[in-house]
Copies of this chain bind each other. A is one copy, B any other.
Amino acid sequence: MRRALPCFVGIALGLAGLACGAEPRAETKLAQAKPPISAEVLESSQPSDWRRPDPVNTLYLDMPGGRVIIELAPRFAPEHVANIKALVREKFFDGLPVGRVQDNYVTQWGDMDEVRQSEAAKRKLPDETAIALGKSMPIVKLPDPDSYAAGTGWLDGFAVGFESAPAGQVWMTHCYGVVGVGRGDWPDTGSGSELYAVIGQAPRHLDRNIVLVGRVLRGMELLSSLPRGAGPLGFYTDDEKSKRTLIGSARLAADLPESARSAIEVLRTDTPLFARYVESRRNRHEPWFVRASGHIDVCNVSPPVREVK
């Protein structure tokens, strides 16, 4: 029986080299001048369209299965990011478990058993669930409606929502792969001793309810494919605890020698090329597609990441 072609769900994750063939499309109603597909946009990129994440804001979680690379977002949550860095530099996370994996929701790790003490980290941090919307902020805006926010787009490479009223605010959105800080009931904002990553449908109702501090650039599968916890809300039960995945070490890239760093770069979001990339995602013209959406959700565009050659 006919096999679904590999191009079936194409380059959704920015896998530029894997695009389907560029044969003329059987359907012509969409493609008048044949706009470029994502793979072609990326192939046309220049070195200046890419950036290397700042090592000071790059967090490595070295796990049994490999390295998770997280880009921290100090513009959005400066004090929480500073706290996480303080914890990392104390080696606070080393040997701590992934303690919760809730299907279609979050993977959470850190001091789940409340066994560690920190000397350097603060226990009380301010509300950093959103920042003031500045008039000159270089937000790259999406034209499409969003179910949750007045507007969406990207700032500093992170997906954001924003509104002008009642209070001008911009905030990181809970897209797949975003990293946040576990907390108890408000006004506790969490110290950073427990972090989570979104592993399912974007739980956008969490936006502005909890502090986000970055996003996973590499290694999401190490967090998303873990066994789901059998306890309530995906926490591992006592019976499962002995099988929890442990964090070997958590380090900032800046604290490692160059030879131990991962050489990756991220597509800049503040360029004409990124605008073309987004447009190629809003309207898919790969041969496999019958119909272009004409729209996109901000969480369906993940700024591509590649190895540095």
Contact = CB atoms under 8 A, between A and B. Distances in A.
Nearest to A129: B290
Contact of A288 (B185, B199, B226, B296): B185
Contact of A291 (B176, B190, B209): B209
Contact of A232 (B18, B175, B289, B299): B18
Interface of A: 1-10, 12-13, 15, 18, 26-27, 101-106, 108, 111-112, 114, 116-118, 121, 123, 129, 144-148, 175-177, 182-188, 190-191, 193-194, 196, 199-209, 220-221, 224-228, 232-233, 235, 281, 284, 287-291, 293, 295-300, 302
A2 B190 contact: yes
B233 A15 contact: yes
A184 B226 contact: no
Nearest to A11: B233
Main secondary structure of the interface of A (DSSP, over half): loop
A2 B183 contact: yes
Contact of A147 (B15, B147, B190): B147
A2 B147 contact: no
Nearest to A302: B104
A93 B207 CA distance: 42
Contacts of A300: 147, 201-205
A25 B144 CA distance: 35
A49 B299 CA distance: 33
A-B pairs, top 4 by smallest CB distance, nearest first, are A4-B182, A1-B193, A145-B145, A147-B297
Contacts of A146: 145, 147
A188 B104 contact: no
Given A9-B203, A148-B297, A206-B9, A18 B233 contact: yes
A209 to B, nearest CB: 5
Nearest to A296: B147
Contact of A220 (B9, B103, B183): B103
Contacts of A297: 147-148, 201-202, 204, 297
Given A204-B300, A207-B293, A221-B228, 7 more contacts: A2-B193, A7-B233, A9-B196, A26-B187, A185-B288, A200-B201, A202-B300
A148 B295 CA distance: 5
B184 A15 contact: no
Given A148-B295, A185-B26, A221 B3 contact: no
B147 A295 contact: yes
Given A102-B13, A221-B103, A201 B1 contact: no
